[in-house]
Structure 1
């Protein structure tokens, strides 16, 4: 069904299909660069990403004379970069040390804690708080698969229960989906996905015995007691400020200052608060915590530059998917099964937040409902509109797919690349872009995605 849907599609009249090439080229270089021309890529990835992004931007401004898409993309990119940078700096000043032996059960317990924590501080916040302690805990037996399952569980699947958990769900909340809708409708899928991934992780980790030996620092202590030590606790306050500022959206909260553009309200107060909190974090961070975390700006700079290119080269791909989604002749395809796989397929390779917005719009258009109406989005989520409860299942499919499939590649969700960069800075040789997909996403993540689809979306057992 998805293949037929795509084959029938035509690109927007003013948008050449060839304009997608810079995005494909950038993704290809992210995948192949570290393997085939590592020295060049290491020293020139910033130039490549920025050049490709600016090339697409110039085409929009000078040839298409389209200012709407670039301005809103820039606003989204700035919000993305500021939030990730602020969380990175705040978490970098919080040193968490876990006195425990790195057993498979302990590792599973830690990522399970991260899956719960992600719903309170976001998948990005939970990932940045726990990835360094996770690496230190497993320092004698660290392997790439452990980092990847951390990405699967903490950086993505864990954030299904609240709008704070993952950007797509927060987009839905801003548009009118009730705050506790996710907890009510996605708890069982969250439990299933996290449990299956934890079980697979446990079974894989049990086989990692070659380099396993008890942590000598723990041997002298009581093995029965697991201890957590936190240095830099005051940064938790600034971390809370960064997360709390997320809600300061002028499109939702009346009275906030904003930049008016094209009938919309562009935020800047939120970003100023987050950057100020990040500065205070770094300025007054515990030197012990920064040293313990081996803090540097290298990983966040890599994310900021690469995602500049991704955001702007991605504009044609997003517009193409939106144009396809809005075509009335495709209404017959709009089923829960289609929405799950279509949303998921694009969420894995495009940013999952705009993909969520596009397919929410598509699902609502089937019933002549508009996603720019808070009242209609609420009716769609609660099943109180003209179509009844059928719309709830459609929203469940879009929500599940956009969050869970975000783990399918390094670029599906912001925290993925951040965790990869931190792991590589710690000396862990992470798989390439396609190595990640072929060796881990397809054999280990895909079965969990199939299980959630079959039980929740197809059979509708929950």
Structure 2
């Protein structure tokens, strides 16, 4: 879900077996996020902070008072600080980079843009690529931007694209920290990555071509034909490099987050006002995400702990099972701990330990398809909902603030995730794990 910085994910203490009734606040918050903006927009706009905070408080009090596990919640609070430092700093720095594209955004240009975004996601992470590319994506399609432009951008750039390196998505970085070689994922996941990205972009191209031809040529040329390619705010790439380098820092605690905040402040202070104005930059989207994910981080703890305690009872034994279970749960839970939960279960299934370097090497050599299945499931299925991965909600918030078309929570799932993305992910599972 949130795409937390993986270095701190497991520092919250011993996982407990919570009462499943306390998963209800998490379900309630998801239901509110899904329905209230559509059914009660004014109420949600004025009270979503209170709702997120109140439901999160229920889960926090249960752990602190009921289970006497304040350390667990304290660890989660620090994970939240890491998450918001990372995603917030990227948001600010990307807001200081203005990319202007040349000419009209034809279906071919758009498809190429998504492929470039998928590659870039492995170099700067799905969050970094999403924050850097979403505003140009909106501008280059401004005269015909519609809901599927939002959905397919999230599919490719914010999720599926980032499965080739540990930098791409937090679950893979967790695997790297556990001993999975840096380029192992690239070598093993590249065929599935190419298949998934190729299929998604092909479907997008077909839809975008219909959309493109529906607009009169004169309007297309008037809207975009006069623009030239240009990048402003180049110094912000230096601040971006600081943020990405900070991700790899483990000691001393807190230095990583401090560097990210310094980079964000430095970027904001040194970026010329016309660049922020050209990007229609405001802190509105990051404020919304910060409040909602504060509630999500707290309420998801009982769900994650219950899953970890009872993962063995799910009856999974084959790579295809791990692909689907880790995938479906990554669509609504934090994909990083979900990845670790199922990867640990796979190690246990083979009588090996994930914290033993020799066992990790043996597992990858003899049972590699299990690690591939968990990696692909955790990364790919994060695109199934807006809360499946942190960049998803950030992209939605930026599109909303840009006053262009974006699907609501249910429309995103019903119109795009289930009929388009799910069959493609099912095809990937069948092609690579059916044996």
Q: TM-score, normalised by structure 2?
A: 0.93
- The CA deviation at 1:285 is 1.1
Instruction: Give the corresponding residue for 1:30.
Output: 33
Report 1:245-394 matches (<5 A): 245-249=246-250, 256-257=251-252, 267-325=253-311, 327=312, 333-381=316-364, 383=365, 389=366, 391-394=367-370
Q: How does 1:2-17 map to 2 (within 5 A)?
A: 15-17=18-20
**Structure 2 runs not aligned, ≥5 long:** 1-14
Q: How far 1:13 sits from its partner (Å)?
A: 8.5
SS in structure 2 at match of 1:96:
strand
Identify the residue that residue 409 of structure 2 maps to in structure 1.
Answer: 433
Question: What SS does structure 1 have at the residue aligned with 2:101?
Answer: strand
In structure 2, C-alpha distance between the alignment counterparts of 1:433 and 1:163, rounded to whole Å:
29
Aligned position for 1:408: 384
In structure 2, C-alpha distance between the alignment counterparts of 1:78 and 1:220, rounded to whole Å: 43
Structure 2: how far apart are the matches of 1:75 and 1:373? 26
Q: CA deviation at 1:190?
A: 0.6
- Greater length-normalized contact order (CA 8 Å, ≥ 6 residues apart): 2
How many Å separate the matches in 2 of 1:378 and 1:71?
33
5+ residue gaps, structure 1? 1-11, 222-226, 250-255, 258-266, 384-388
**In 2, distance between residues paired with 1:220 and 1:205?**
21
Match of 2:24 in 1: 21
Q: Which residue of 2 aligns with 1:200?
A: 203
CA contact (8 A) 1:408 1:441 kept: yes
Equivalent-residue separation in structure 2 for 1:219 and 1:446 (angstroms): 36
Aligned with 1:94 (options 93, 97, 101) = 97
| RMSD, aligned α-carbons | 1.6
Shift, 1:113, TM fit: 0.7
How far 1:370 sits from its partner (Å)? Answer: 2.1
The count of residues paired between Structure 1 and Structure 2 equals: 418
Matches within 5 A, 1:441-460: 441-459=417-435
Which structure dedicates a bigger proportion of its chain to helix? 2
The answer to whether the Cα contact below 8 Å between 1:49 and 1:306 also exists between their aligned partners in 2 is yes
State how 1:139-288 maps to structure 2 within 5 Å: 139-208=142-211, 209-211=213-215, 213-216=219-222, 218-219=224-225, 227-249=228-250, 256-257=251-252, 267-288=253-274
| Number of the residue aligned with 1:114 | 117
Listed one character per residue, the Cα deviations across residues 314-344 of structure 1 (whole Å, up to 9, x for unaligned) are 001101110112x4x66x6321011011001
- Give the deviation of 1:214 after TM superposition: 1.9
User: What do the CA deviations read for 1:164-213 (whole angstroms, capped 9, x no partner)?
Assistant: 00111111111111100111100111100000000000001111133453
**Secondary structure of 2:229's aligned partner:** strand
Kindly tell me: are residues 220 and 125 of structure 1, through their superposed partners in 2, closer, same or farther at Cα, counting changes over 3 Å?
Answer: closer
